[in-house]
A and B are shown apart, each in its own frame.
Chain A
Amino acid sequence: MSASIALQPGALARYETPSTSEPAWIKVTLITVALTFFVIFLLFPLGTVFVQALSKGWGVYLSALTSHDALAAIKLTLITAAIAVPLNVVFGVSAAWAIAKFEFPGKRFLITLIDLPFSISPVVSGLIYVLIFGAQGWFGPWLAEHDIKILFAVPGIVLATIFVTFPFVARELIPLMEAQGAEEEEAAVVLGASGWQVFWHTTLPNIKWGLLYGVILCNARAMGEFGAVSVVSGHIRGLTNTMPLHVEILYNEYNYAAAFAVASLLALLAIVTLGLKTLVERQTRKQISESQKPSES
Chain B
Amino acid sequence: MKFKTIIAGLLAASVLAGNALAADVTLLNVSYDPTRELYQDYNAAFAKYWKTKAGDNVTINQSHGGSGKQARAVIDGLDADVVTLALAYDIDAISDKALIPADWQKRLPHNASPYTSTIVFLVRKGNPKGIKDWNDLVKPDVAIVTPNPKTSGGARWNYLAAWAYALEQPGGNEAKAKEFVGQVFRNVKVLDSGARGSTTTFVERGIGDVLLAWENEAYLSLKELGDKFEIVTPSLSILAEPPVSVVDKTVDKRGTRKVAQAYLEYLYSPEGQEIAARNFYRPQDAKVAAKYAKQFAKVRLVTIDKSFGGWRNAQKVHFSDGGVFDQIYIPSGKK
Name A residues whose Cβ lies closer than 8 Å to a Cβ of B.
63, 67-69, 71-72, 75, 130, 133-137, 140, 143-144, 147, 149, 151-152, 234-239, 249, 251-254, 256
Interface centre among A134, A147, A237 (most CB of B within 10 A): A237
- Chain A residues with CB under 8 Å of B33's CB are 252
* Inter-subunit contact A235/B64 (CB<8 Å): yes
* Inter-subunit contact B75/A71 (CB<8 Å): no
Which residue on A lies nearest to B34, using beta carbons? A252
Alpha-carbon distance between A264 and B280 when the two chains are bound, in angstroms = 33
* Inter-subunit contact B11/A71 (CB<8 Å): yes
B197 on interface, CB distance cutoff 8 Å: yes
Chain A nearest CB, measured from B196 CB (Å) = 4
* Inter-subunit contact B77/A238 (CB<8 Å): no
* Inter-subunit contact B61/A135 (CB<8 Å): no
B315 on interface, CB distance cutoff 8 Å: no
Given the interface pairs A68-B4, A149-B79, A237-B63, the reply to whether A254 lies near B10 with Cβ below 8 Å is no
Alpha-carbon distance between A133 and B73 when the two chains are bound, in angstroms = 12
Closest 6 CB pairs of A and B: A135-B77, A238-B10, A134-B76, A252-B196, A234-B78, A152-B78
* Inter-subunit contact A237/B62 (CB<8 Å): yes
Alpha-carbon distance between A137 and B72 when the two chains are bound, in angstroms = 13
Q: List 11 A-B contacts (CB under 8 A).
A: A68-B11, A69-B3, A135-B76, A136-B97, A151-B76, A152-B76, A234-B78, A238-B61, A251-B200, A252-B197, A254-B224
* Inter-subunit contact B200/A239 (CB<8 Å): no
* Inter-subunit contact B225/A238 (CB<8 Å): no
- Chain A residues with CB under 8 Å of B197's CB are 252
- Chain B residues with CB under 8 Å of A135's CB are 75-77, 97
Chain B nearest CB, measured from A138 CB (Å) = 12
Alpha-carbon distance between A164 and B65 when the two chains are bound, in angstroms = 24
Alpha-carbon distance between A75 and B10 when the two chains are bound, in angstroms = 13
B290 on interface, CB distance cutoff 8 Å: no
Alpha-carbon distance between A86 and B3 when the two chains are bound, in angstroms = 35
0/1 string, B1-34, CB within 8 A of A gives 1: 1011001101100100000000000001010010
Give the bracket for the number of chain B residues in contact with chain A: 35 or more
* Inter-subunit contact B7/A130 (CB<8 Å): no
Query: B28 is contacted by which of A69, A133, A136, A236 (Cβ under 8 Å)?
Result: A236
Alpha-carbon distance between A234 and B62 when the two chains are bound, in angstroms = 10
B129 on interface, CB distance cutoff 8 Å: no
Alpha-carbon distance between A147 and B255 when the two chains are bound, in angstroms = 13
B278 on interface, CB distance cutoff 8 Å: no
* Inter-subunit contact B76/A249 (CB<8 Å): no
* Inter-subunit contact B63/A234 (CB<8 Å): yes
Interface centre among B28, B65, B73 (most CB of A within 10 A): B73
- Chain A residues with CB under 8 Å of B189's CB are none
- Chain A residues with CB under 8 Å of B194's CB are 252
B132 on interface, CB distance cutoff 8 Å: no
B178 on interface, CB distance cutoff 8 Å: no
Query: B14 is contacted by which of A72, A149, A235, A252 (Cβ under 8 Å)?
Result: A72
* Inter-subunit contact A235/B10 (CB<8 Å): no
* Inter-subunit contact B64/A134 (CB<8 Å): no
* Inter-subunit contact B63/A238 (CB<8 Å): no
* Inter-subunit contact A152/B73 (CB<8 Å): yes
Chain A nearest CB, measured from B24 CB (Å) = 15
* Inter-subunit contact B10/A237 (CB<8 Å): yes
B36 on interface, CB distance cutoff 8 Å: yes
B227 on interface, CB distance cutoff 8 Å: no
- Chain A residues with CB under 8 Å of B8's CB are 68
B141 on interface, CB distance cutoff 8 Å: no
Chain A nearest CB, measured from B145 CB (Å) = 15
Which residue on B lies nearest to A134, using beta carbons? B76
- Chain B residues with CB under 8 Å of A251's CB are 200
Which residue on A lies nearest to B199, using beta carbons? A254
Chain B nearest CB, measured from A128 CB (Å) = 13
Which residue on B lies nearest to A144, using beta carbons? B77
Among residues 120 to 144 in chain B, which have CB atoms less than 8 Å away from a CB atom of chain A?
none
- Chain B residues with CB under 8 Å of A68's CB are 4, 7-8, 10-11
Chain B nearest CB, measured from A88 CB (Å) = 26
0/1 string, B164-200, CB within 8 A of A gives 1: 0000000000000000000000000000001011011
* Inter-subunit contact A253/B36 (CB<8 Å): yes
* Inter-subunit contact B61/A239 (CB<8 Å): yes
- Chain B residues with CB under 8 Å of A252's CB are 33, 64, 194, 196-197, 200
Which residue on A lies nearest to B203, using beta carbons? A254
* Inter-subunit contact A235/B1 (CB<8 Å): no
* Inter-subunit contact A235/B63 (CB<8 Å): yes
Alpha-carbon distance between A34 and B56 when the two chains are bound, in angstroms = 63
- Chain A residues with CB under 8 Å of B4's CB are 67-68
Chain B nearest CB, measured from A221 CB (Å) = 24
Chain B nearest CB, measured from A69 CB (Å) = 6
B204 on interface, CB distance cutoff 8 Å: yes
- Chain B residues with CB under 8 Å of A235's CB are 63-65, 73
Alpha-carbon distance between A256 and B225 when the two chains are bound, in angstroms = 11
Chain B nearest CB, measured from A73 CB (Å) = 11
Interface centre among B8, B75, B76 (most CB of A within 10 A): B76
Q: A135-B97, A235-B73, A254-B224 are in contact. List 17 more A-B contacts (CB 8 A).
A: A67-B1, A67-B7, A69-B3, A72-B11, A151-B76, A151-B77, A151-B78, A235-B63, A236-B62, A237-B3, A237-B63, A238-B10, A249-B64, A251-B200, A252-B194, A254-B221, A254-B225
Given the interface pairs A68-B4, A69-B7, A236-B28, the reply to whether A256 lies near B73 with Cβ below 8 Å is no
Alpha-carbon distance between A251 and B199 when the two chains are bound, in angstroms = 11
- Chain A residues with CB under 8 Å of B11's CB are 68, 71-72, 75, 238
Alpha-carbon distance between A83 and B275 when the two chains are bound, in angstroms = 42
Which residue on A lies nearest to B10, using beta carbons? A238
* Inter-subunit contact B75/A136 (CB<8 Å): yes
